[in-house]
Structure formats: C-alpha cells, structure tokens
C-alpha cells in the first residue's frame, strides 16, 4: 500500500509549498488512530485554499486516507487539542519527507512542550472545566440528574486533560489510561462516578464535593495565562475589550463564565464606572495584584 501511495506523496513533496509528509499505519490494538483506514498520509503545506482537504483511496481490499493540512490549521489543532490523533501522527508516524527539518523541529517542540504553550493549553482546559462543572451543578440543583451526569463526565475529562498538561505531557486519545498513571486521584473519581453502587444523586453529590477541592487547588495555575495577559494593562478592561485581545480568543464562548469564576475567587477585581443612566454602572475588570 505504501508503494501505491508513493506517487501521491512524491508529487506533493516536489512542491515548494509542502513542509512535510508523514505516513501512519493502522494500529494492531482496538484504538485505531487512522479512523479505521489501513494507512493515512498527512501532508503539511504552508498555504492552501482550504484548511483541510481529505481524499480516500482503495487498493487490494485496503483503504487509505490522505490529509492535506494547512500549517495554520495544524497549529490550531495542536493548541486547542481539538484533533488529538494529530499529536500521535506527528510523534509516531513515519516521516517520508521533511523540508528543512520542519517535522523534526515540530516533534522536538511537542516533546519539550514549552512552558508558555503549556500555560495556554492549561488555561483553555481550565476554562472548559469551569463551564462544564458549573453547568453540571446547575442541573444537579434543579434535580436534573441525568443532564448533570453528562456535564460532570465532560468536566472530569477536562480535569484529566488539565492534570496531564500540568505534568508536561500532551493528552492522548486514551486520556484515562494516561491519567491513571499521572493522577490516580482523578482516575478514582471517574471510576467511582461510573461504578459506585450509590444512587446517581449521591454519586454526583460526592463528586461535586471532591471536584470543588481539585478545582480550587488548580485555580491559580489554570488562570496563569489569562491573568498574565490582562496584567499587560495597568488599568481595567471592559469585557468587550477583552474579547478583542488576540491572546484571549482561545477561550471563545467560555470566556464570560471563566471571568466570573475568577472574580468569585478574587483573582480579578470588578470596578464600576457611572453611565448616563441613574444607578447603572459599566463593569470593568482588573487583575488583583
């Protein structure tokens, strides 16, 4: 199959726009990282009309998929963790073409996991954790236990990913296998939620209590990135101004909920500015130093 694909990747490797080509073979275990294709080709390009272009091929009862990915899209996937198989592809795939050691440098960066990038990824996961946790608690307080359970599962997943990143690793597809080794306490919470013989209401109640401590203990580290960005100004920010800060766009729809959590925890101060309306004030925000 690799021989069949050679003309495909050689053609692309000859183009100056191509930065690298990686071959990934279907794993022997149950966790295939190739979406059930026998082979996958990842072609990284500097510029393209589309961020991602995918083609499928058949040969001798085998299947192959070819991903042509724009570099900016690849960087976004790696930052947000929104396509987790890509980390596995880059680190463990077979390099077929590497222009100016682009893939070599990319692998080194992933393995080193620079502190600045780690802070950003921790901030993203922490913001998602807060939103899922608070939504789950709201459903629990409204006695909507099945909906609460769904949100808590997602919150635990973000907590697990956060713990992995804190320890200098990129979350893999098998997150719970990772966190079992890295942070057994979080793994135990997850198992108790799934397997405990207590009622669902009691399981959720106990988990909210335990999670509160785990979230609080990580709050300062998780908020480090957003606090650093907001500290660039001596004065205060309106929320509208925050939404325009390029570094904070990574928090997307979670920014508002995240900000209120940080106000609650006294990491951020709220200041009131008078408006023309009597008794109505603008809310502005500054880092509590």
Q: Is 98 helix (H, G, I), strand (E, B) or coil?
A: strand
115-159 per-position pLDDT tens digit = 999 999 999 999 999 999 999 999 999 999 999 999 999 999 999
pLDDT the model gives residue 34: 80
Maximum pairwise Cα distance, the chain: 77
- pTM for this predicted structure: 0.86
C-beta neighbour count of 194 within 10 angstroms: 11
Report d(CA 204, CA 42) in Å as an integer: 42
What average pLDDT does the segment 155-166 reach? 95
What average pLDDT does the segment 189-200 reach? 93
18-32 per-position pLDDT tens digit = 999 999 988 765 455
228-276 per-position pLDDT tens digit = 999 998 889 999 999 999 999 999 999 999 999 999 999 999 998 888 8
Query: Is-contact 58 135, C-beta < 8 A?
Result: no
**CA nearest to 228, candidates 113, 115, 128, 109:** 115
Confidence of residue 6 (pLDDT cuts 50, 70, 90): confident
pLDDT the model gives residue 281: 86
pLDDT at 60 over 90: no
C-beta neighbour count of 252 within 10 angstroms: 12
Indicate the average pLDDT of the chain.
91
C-beta neighbour count of 265 within 10 angstroms: 14
Which residues lie across from 141 on neighbouring strands? Answer: none
What average pLDDT does the segment 95-117 reach? 93
Query: Is-contact 119 168, C-beta < 8 A?
Result: no
**CATH, domain range 2-112:** 3.30.460.10
Q: Is 3 helix (H, G, I), strand (E, B) or coil?
A: helix
Domain 114-222 fold is 1.20.120
Report d(CA 24, CA 8) in Å as an integer: 15
pLDDT the model gives residue 1: 59
Confidence of residue 41 (pLDDT cuts 50, 70, 90): very high
Query: Is-contact 46 22, C-beta < 8 A?
Result: no
| Domain spanning 224-289, CATH class | mainly alpha
Confidence of residue 2 (pLDDT cuts 50, 70, 90): low
Q: Where are the domains of the chain?
A: 2-112, 114-222, 224-289
Query: E strands, 102-221, where?
Result: none
Residues 6 or more apart whose Cβ sits within 8 Å of residue 29: none
Report d(CA 246, CA 267) in Å as an integer: 21
């Amino acid at each position: 199959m690799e021989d069949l694909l050679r003309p495909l990747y050689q053609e692309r490797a000859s183009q100056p726009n191509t930065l690298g080509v990686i071959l990934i073979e279907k794993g022997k275990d149950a966790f295939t990282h190739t979406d059930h294709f026998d082979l996958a080709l990842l072609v990284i390009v500097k510029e393209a009309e589309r961020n991602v272009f995918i083609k499928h091929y058949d040969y001798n009862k085998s299947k192959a998929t070819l991903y042509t990915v724009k570099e900016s899209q690849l960087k976004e996937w790696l930052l947000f963790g929104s396509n987790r198989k890509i980390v596995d592809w880059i680190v463990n795939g077979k390099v077929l073409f590497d222009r100016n050691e682009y893939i070599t440098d990319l692998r080194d960066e992933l393995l080193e996991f620079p502190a600045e990038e780690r802070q950003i990824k921790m901030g993203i996961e922490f913001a998602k954790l807060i939103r899922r946790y608070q939504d789950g608690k709201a459903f629990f307080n409204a006695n909507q236990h099945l909906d609460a359970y769904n949100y808590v599962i997602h919150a635990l997943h973000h907590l697990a990913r956060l713990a992995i990143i804190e320890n200098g690793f990129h979350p893999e597809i098998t997150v719970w296998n990772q966190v079992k080794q890295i942070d057994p306490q979080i793994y135990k919470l997850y198992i108790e939620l799934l397997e405990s013989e207590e009622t669902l209401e009691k399981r959720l109640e106990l988990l909210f209590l335990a999670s509160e401590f785990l979230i609080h203990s990580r709050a300062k580290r998780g908020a480090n990135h957003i606090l650093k960005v907001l500290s660039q100004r001596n004065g205060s920010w309106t929320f509208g101004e925050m939404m325009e800060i390029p570094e904070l766009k990574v928090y997307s729809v979670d920014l508002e909920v995240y900000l209120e959590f940080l106000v609650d925890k006294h990491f951020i101060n709220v200041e009131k500015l008078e408006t023309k309306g009597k008794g109505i004030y603008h809310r502005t925000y500054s880092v509590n130093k």
